[in-house]
A and B are shown apart, each in its own frame.
Chain A
């Protein structure tokens, strides 16, 4: 059974804090993705990584950065959290044309 594990299900952070969202996959897939999901806006791609230390901006990268030091782990970083980053964050992994497998999401609230 495929596993994409996000370290936290719920997070509450204060404005200005540095926030790390962690994601680990159990397959040897190169591609990993971070999406955010907001009501009425669907899933929007923040960043993706196609290999260790390789990253590409998605559609909404502003205010975020990522880190991929090992193939199985892909971290999303909010350098200085803001209230408009309150959202559901979904990590996914995929390989080529294969479907994306998502984690269960991290619901982040920034107060």
Chain B
């Protein structure tokens, strides 16, 4: 079967750095994506790693190691508005994106 594992909940302090890990076991792998979802909202795309290494977009960075079947999302200079759920997702085929169960991030003052 296929699986993506990520922590269910993370709490961090405003201004701090937090890392959300994702390990995967899938039948195919074309890349790892991260999506953010605020309560009551739609998931929105954050980042994509097709190759090993670090991708940086502003305060957010994402990392992939295909040999370890592992990636992470790094959020720096946390803000209250970063409180949301974060999903890793593996592209397993041309048209299939397999999602993890999500990590609920709570940022506290």
Interface residues of B in 20-76 (CB under 8 A from A): 30-31, 33, 35, 41-45, 48, 50
Contact check, A102 vs B42: say whether CB atoms are below 8 A apart.
yes
| A75 in contact (CB, < 8 A) | no
Kindly state the interface size class of chain A when it binds its partner.
Answer: 20 to 34
Contact check, A102 vs B91: say whether CB atoms are below 8 A apart.
no
Q: How far is the CA of A105 from the CA of B4 in the complex (A)?
A: 23
- B91's nearest neighbour on chain A, judged by CB, is A97
Most buried by B among A50, A58, A99, A104: A99
| B19 in contact (CB, < 8 A) | no
Contact check, A44 vs B41: say whether CB atoms are below 8 A apart.
no
Given the contacts A42-B100, A42-B102, A103 and B42 also touching, CB distance less than 8 Å: yes
A59 contact set on B, CB distance < 8 A: 98
Q: How many residues of B contact A (CB 8 A)?
A: 24
Given the contacts A90-B42, A99-B48, A42 and B87 also touching, CB distance less than 8 Å: yes
Contact check, B91 vs A43: say whether CB atoms are below 8 A apart.
no
A11 to chain B, nearest CB (A): 16
B30 contact set on A, CB distance < 8 A: 97
Contact check, A43 vs B99: say whether CB atoms are below 8 A apart.
yes
Cβ-closest 9 pairs across A and B: A99-B45, A42-B101, A102-B42, A43-B99, A42-B99, A104-B42, A102-B43, A42-B102, A48-B95
Given contacts A90-B43, A99-B48, A102-B42, 10 further A-B contacts (CB under 8 A): A35-B99, A40-B8, A41-B101, A42-B102, A43-B89, A48-B96, A56-B95, A97-B50, A99-B33, A100-B43
Chain B interface (Cβ < 8 Å from any Cβ of A):
4, 8, 30-31, 33, 35, 41-45, 48, 50, 87, 89, 91, 95-102
Chain A interface (Cβ < 8 Å from any Cβ of B):
4, 31, 33, 35, 40-45, 48, 50, 56, 58-59, 90, 94, 97, 99-105
